[in-house]
């Protein structure tokens, strides 16, 4: 009987969480009208430059994060690096820290490199993601590499081994990292507010409210249009996301 009521409580809790997550989406969809979409897509010419700029920034962050995570995971897995468990523990700590704790160090670093108010200021701080590196290493650590030693006997080129042996077995995790980091880049808010001051360098996630201030009801149509890239990526890479995140463990 206790197990039965326990399962009911779990299902109720899951239902409450689902309602809390879906309610904003439902309200956004119900408040947008066809006239709003027409205004945004036809009459409001600011939407397209900002939308494609945001997509470009997000794509650069996704691709760059994959490259950095793969190289870091290969180094931790196959390199002669001591205290790998300690490094993974530090990555876990960084994952638990809120974003606000890293804004000041990133700002100082970008300022010293003279990268403030540049496109690089939005991309570079996002590339070395602790989550991406940790997930990539956990997936790489769980995949068997019987052909790795054979490949080392045939060639001494690390690049060839990486492309022909390691990467083909990492496709699911690579897709998962790209999707999540793309979403992080497309939806970022704090970084553009602190790292860039030019309006032309601020993505749609920051300027959407101010750009629709004259017609505030358009914000719902803009929100739905911004959901489309995320929904397409999550739908297209659903299996890869499930497989890639399935290897995540503490």
pLDDT tens digits, 114-143? 888 898 999 998 998 888 998 888 888 777
Greatest Cα pair distance, the chain, in angstroms, is 67
Q: Where do the domains of the chain lie?
A: 53-245
Residue 32 sits at the vertex; the CA angle it makes with 27 and 35, to the nearest 5 degrees, is 170
Confidence of residue 5 (pLDDT cuts 50, 70, 90): low
Q: How far apart are CA 165 and CA 28, in angstroms?
A: 46
CATH class of 53-245: mainly alpha
Q: How far apart are CA 134 and CA 124, in angstroms?
A: 18
Structure tokens at 211: 């750009």
CA dihedral of residues 226, 230, 233, 236 (deg, nearest 10): -100
Spatial CA neighbour of 166 closest among 74, 49, 50: 74
Which phi and psi (to 5°) does residue 129 adopt? Answer: -85, 125
Is pTM beyond 0.75 here? yes
DSSP 1-13: -HHHHHHHHHHHH
Confidence of residue 39 (pLDDT cuts 50, 70, 90): confident
């Amino acid at each position: 009987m206790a197990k039965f009521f326990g399962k009911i409580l779990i299902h109720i809790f899951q239902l409450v969480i689902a309602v809390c997550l879906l309610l904003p989406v439902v309200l956004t969809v119900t408040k947008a009208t066809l006239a709003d979409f027409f205004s945004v897509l036809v009459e409001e010419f600011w939407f397209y430059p900002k939308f494609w700029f945001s997509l470009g920034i997000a794509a650069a962050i996704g691709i760059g994060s994959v490259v950095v995570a793969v190289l870091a995971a290969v180094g931790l897995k196959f390199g002669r690096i001591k205290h790998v468990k300690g490094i993974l523990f530090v990555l876990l700590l960084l994952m638990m820290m809120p974003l606000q704790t890293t804004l000041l160090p990133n700002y100082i670093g970008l300022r010293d490199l003279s990268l403030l108010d540049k496109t690089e200021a939005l991309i570079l701080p996002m590339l070395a993601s602790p989550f991406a590196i940790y997930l990539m290493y956990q997936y790489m650590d769980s995949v068997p590499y019987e052909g790795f030693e054979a490949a080392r006997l045939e060639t001494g080129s690390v690049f060839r081994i990486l492309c022909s042996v390691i990467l083909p077995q990492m496709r699911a995790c690579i897709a998962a990292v790209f999707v999540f980091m793309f979403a992080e880049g497309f939806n970022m808010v704090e970084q553009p507010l602190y790292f860039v001051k030019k309006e032309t360098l601020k993505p749609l996630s920051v300027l959407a409210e101010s750009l629709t201030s004259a017609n505030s009801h358009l914000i719902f149509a803009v929100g739905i249009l911004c959901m489309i890239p995320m929904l397409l990526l999550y739908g297209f890479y659903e299996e890869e996301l499930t497989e890639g995140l399935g290897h995540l463990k503490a």
